[in-house]
A and B are shown apart, each in its own frame.
Chain A
Amino acid sequence: AQSVSQHNHHVILSEAASLELGCNYSYGGTVNLFWYVQYPGQHLQLLLKYFSGDPLVKGIKGFEAEFIKSKFSFNLRKPSVQWSDTAEYFCAVLSYNTDKLIFGTGTRLQVFP
């Protein structure tokens, strides 16, 4: 069965630190990849997505993610986090075969001023 793994369950950073959240997926075919974010008290919302083309994807609020097909990875990065980035981050993959979104377990990010 297809799956998505997020290695970091809870990350604590100080403001201005760099961030990288890991995401690996198991499916080897054509995939579309997403990062969703849920800020405290808010809806889950799209941060960025990869369909094809440039494997480095830019998202909102200075986030980016790099698709590395050989490593089945889609890690999320931000060079300098802010307190307002405190949220839960979910990686997801959409497989063409099943037409479904498969979510990871999420990473809770806490940023302290």
Chain B
Amino acid sequence: EADIYQTPRYLVIGTGKKITLECSQTMGHDKMYWYQQDPGMELHLIHYSYGVNSTEKGDLSSESTVSRIRTEHFPLTLESARPSHTSQYLCASSEEQSTDTQYFGPGTRLTVL
């Protein structure tokens, strides 16, 4: 069982609210990732980080932002949630090499009303 945690698991909020999705890992991995997944669709990379103070945007454009102040913590923030942000958000981490296995968290299912 991978030691990567996401909170909350489920979140229902109204339009315009600011939210932060938490992701933490206890494996000491340098690389961390955020994916967005809609039902029946592929996972899309929206953000990634290669280490502390490193953040990059992924392949899918997203209005969210991320930060990496500590190795173990990689939160994702939406300043003003909209219904179009409704989705599942998966956090993952891996060791240094690109070919290393990515370990996934349980995901946060976000619904914006």
Docked-complex contact A90 and B101, CB < 8 angstroms: no
In the complex, per-residue mask of A49-87: 1 if CB is within 8 Å of any chain B CB, else 0: 101000000000000000000000000000000000000
A32 to B43, CA, bound (A): 17
| A16 at the binding interface (Cβ < 8 Å) | no
In the complex, the answer to whether B98 meets A44 with C-beta atoms within 8 Å is no
State how many angstroms separate the Cβ of B27 from the closest Cβ of chain A: 13
With a CB–CB cut-off of 8 A, which chain A residues contact B59?
Answer: 100
Quick check: A94 and B98 within 8 Å, CB to CB? yes
Q: CB-nearest residue of chain A relative to B2?
A: A43
B106 pairs with A32, CB closer than 8 A: no
Do B98 and A99 have beta carbons less than 8 Å apart? yes
- Chain B residue contacts of A36, Cβ below 8 A: 104
Report how many A-B pairs have Cβ atoms within 8 Å: 49
Contact at B99–A51, with CB atoms within 8 Å? yes
- Cβ of A21 within 8 Å of any chain B Cβ, yes or no, is no
> Could you tell me the distance in whole angstroms from the C-beta of B9 to the nearest C-beta in chain A?
11
A8 to B: closest C-beta gap in Å: 13
In the complex, which range does the number of interface residues on chain A fall in? 20 to 34
Chain B contact residues: over half helix, strand or loop, or mixed? loop
Give the interface residue-count category, chain B. 20 to 34
Please determine whether B43 and A90 come into contact, CB atoms closer than 8 angstroms: yes
**Minimum CB–CB distance for B60 against chain A, Å:** 11
Known A43-B104, A45-B2, A45-B104: A103·B42 in contact at CB below 8 Å: yes
Chain B residues within an 8 Å CB radius of A42 = 106
Closest to A95 in B: B98
Tell me, yes or no, whether A4 is within 8 Å of chain B by CB: yes
Q: List 29 A-B contacts (CB under 8 A).
A: A4-B42, A9-B40, A32-B98, A32-B99, A36-B104, A43-B1, A43-B2, A43-B105, A43-B107, A44-B92, A44-B104, A45-B2, A46-B101, A46-B102, A49-B99, A94-B98, A94-B99, A100-B45, A100-B58, A101-B43, A101-B102, A102-B42, A103-B35, A103-B43, A103-B44, A104-B42, A105-B40, A105-B41, A105-B42
